[in-house]
Amino acid sequence: MRNNKIYLLFVVCFVIQLSCKEEAKKAIKTAPITFKKEGDLRILQKESDSLLTVLDIEIADSDYERETGLMYRSSMEPNQGMLFVFEDVAMHYFYMKNTEFPLDLIFVDDQMKIASFQKNAQPLKENSLPSKVPVKYVLEVNAGLADKWSLAVGDSIVYSKAP
């Protein structure tokens, strides 16, 4: 009889512990991260300087912003992008950990010319996405847009910060 009471007490404690863990998980809700326009970016075709597209951009130019990027967001509008600005020209590596939607990564050199791409980077993956060549900027847009705009190595970007 004593063993049955101990067993019952153990089961009750286990159930209470599980329900407390579930309540704690439910209680942790973060506010959605929303897009904050910090500038405009234009992409120009290399041969004619024709305007290919104009984007509203967020600018990631601090360590924290570059490390976080578009993580923890569920989507981005087609006319939006995030421009990463680095202090140095170097090989830069990205990954999609905690990024919930596919992206095209457009790597841009210090002359503002598109140098390479990583297209259709898949959400929540931790594999390395290298720039392939030294760059100073990286533009992240929704997957498929680089092809839609027919972007090519040598096309250029121009951006300005919002007042």
The tens digit of pLDDT for each residue in 27-72 reads 455 678 889 999 999 999 999 999 999 999 999 999 999 999 999 9
In three-state secondary structure terms, 2 is helix
Instruction: Give the model's pLDDT for residue 63.
Output: 95
- What's the whole-model pTM score? 0.81
Instruction: Give the model's pLDDT for residue 27.
Output: 45
Please tell me the total number of residues recorded for the chain in this structure.
Answer: 163
**H or E segment to which residue 106 belongs:** strand 103-108
Enter the tokens of residue 101. Answer: 């939607």
- 101-141, pLDDT tens digit by residue? 999 999 999 999 999 999 999 999 999 999 999 999 999 99
